[in-house]
Amino acid sequence: MFFFNKNDKIALQPVLFDILKKMKGQGILLKNTKLAKFALSKVPSTFLEKKSRKTAKTLFQKALELPAYKSFLKNKKFNPKINYKDFQSIPITNKKNYIQAYSFQELSKDINPHLFYRSSGYSGEPTYWTQNKSDHKSFIEYMDFNLRYTFNIEKKKTLFISTFAMSSWITGQQVLAGLSHVASKYSNVTFFACGMTVDEPLDMIKRFGDQYDQIVMFAYPLTFKEFVDKSSNYGIDLKELNLYAIIGAEGVTYKWSKYYSKKLCRSGKEEYRIISAYGTADTGVGIASEQKPALLLKDLVYENKELRKDITGRDDMPLHFFQYNPVENYLETVNNELIITKDKQIPLIRYNLHDDAEIVPYDKLIKITQDHGLDFKSMLKDIDGDLFHLPLFAIYGRSDDTIILNGANIYINSFKEALHQEGIAHLHTGKFRVKKVDEEDMFQNYHIEVELHEHINSSDELKVLIRETIIKFLLANDKGYKSAYHEPYNRENICSIDFVSFSNEKALKHKYH
């Protein structure tokens, strides 16, 4: 929530303060797109940062009333009255040491949930999560505002299609609820939720697509790829549809996004047609989505490695930048891992999301782009973008030894165990690296590099043996890999193997890129 009081007046332009004082919070702000755009482009970033820290500290104080959090701090020998120096001195929580260590009744501030959902459980037992009515309402308001702002649904006749899984996973449930809300509220909106299929949306578009000003599709990356690949079979010219895609559940490369944006752009015009969204089972959907400032920044740092290093402090290219509301979500990074403090039915206090990330404050973005001779504000205006005074974060992938394939989290230990199956375990040193790669047709495949023992000779037959052993193991032991990735996209080239030497990386046991 945005909270404002008379002491904040000094930080704001008087006219803006008067508007915000009357609003009393974020709810009214979200209901008026023009007012929100005005406010978010005028509120100083330092003001929002101050509010973010204050909200996080208040949430920490409230969490001290929860039995689980009291016990957690006691086990960490952290006494808030004695050990508290600043917010960063508070112990970090995560799924294992906090969520899975206590009962729902101990963790929750409200024992009557509005909604249950669960994470996949590919690492063992699934984790059940909840939302109360306030959490659910906040997401609905966020989605309502985001779709109005991004797609102007109040004026454009819009067909929304969701191909997210209709299961206990949060993404499909939340998107369905959000689309149902906007379709009932706005006469211009129709929605179609069909689950993980491409034939049904293609048939729907063939029959009814020309009746809409625009079509917006929610999809996992591989589902959307299959949708594009099959569109010609239905006689559909995607470039004539004014089609956009919102991609969720996993990151995609810059090359992938550009490739599919061009598939949708009319008359070869360069446009942003692929938008990624960020959320997790832990936090719920709707933490952030890519808007034009983030997309423009991604273009700039892809072309300019020096700018990339100055903005993020790193040489490697991030998958995405996301601009976020710092008052709803207090974000930090510790050892390059994204830490969130967020109010929900189970409050998250300095909770490790295990995403590899970097924070980019708004003022830093403006200063560094200026130092590189770039007028970010003017460049954004040229693409009809709005510059909100909000911070961004860059996402590079998972930091907890998982590879995400079409929404399914596959743990590195699964690959490790597969490589130690009878028949191949004696062939290699145990050192390996897993990479997710884009094939020429933009299919997201996975590639495994394995180090053989010195006395083992490399051969194509050996690659086939190791590949088939790994696939057989994953199909038998990882239901997510089987149902979300292998069976829907059973291609001959799934999983490629190379033999390499890790002699210069002696500490390497396994690694995921």
Mean pLDDT of 492-501: 83
Closest CA to 285 of 227, 326, 344: 344
Q: Categorize the per-residue pLDDT at 6 as very low, low, confident or very high, splitting at 50, 70 and 90.
A: very low
Mean pLDDT of 466-482: 83
Q: Categorize the per-residue pLDDT at 141 as very low, low, confident or very high, splitting at 50, 70 and 90.
A: confident
The domains found in the chain, sorted by start residue, are 131-398 (3.40.50.12780), 404-512 (3.30.300.30)
- Is pLDDT of 121 > 80? no
Report the pLDDT value the prediction gives residue 379, as an integer from 0 to 100. Answer: 93
Which helix (H) or strand (E) is 409 found in, with range? strand 408-411
What is the pTM for the complete model shown?
Answer: 0.79
Residues 127, 357, 406, 150, Cα dihedral to 10°: 100
Report the pLDDT value the prediction gives residue 297, as an integer from 0 to 100. Answer: 96
Average pLDDT value over all residues in the chain: 84
Burial of 118 (0-12, 13-18, 19+ CB in 10 A): middle
Between 356 and 23, whose confidence is greater?
356
- Is pLDDT of 8 > 60? no
Round the CA-based radius of gyration of the chain to a whole number and report it. Answer: 24
Between 211 and 493, whose confidence is greater?
211
The pair of structure tokens assigned to 487 is: 């069976």
- Is pLDDT of 414 > 90? no
Between 164 and 31, whose confidence is greater?
164
Report the pLDDT value the prediction gives residue 513, as an integer from 0 to 100. Answer: 35
Mean pLDDT of 63-77: 96
Instruction: Kindly report, residue by residue over 152-187, the tens digit of the pLDDT.
Output: 999 999 999 999 887 777 788 889 999 999 999 999
Mean pLDDT of 24-38: 67
Report the pLDDT value the prediction gives residue 105, as an integer from 0 to 100. Answer: 92
Mean pLDDT of 38-44: 80
Instruction: Kindly report, residue by residue over 361-373, the tens digit of the pLDDT.
Output: 999 999 999 999 9
Mean pLDDT of 65-81: 94
Sign of CA dihedral 210, 215, 259, 300: positive
Mean pLDDT of 381-392: 89
Mean pLDDT of 487-505: 74
C-alpha distance from residue 488 to each of 172, 215, 276 (Å) = 18, 24, 22
When mean pLDDT is compared across 13-17, 36-40, 469-473, the lowest value belongs to: 13-17
Mean pLDDT of 215-225: 89
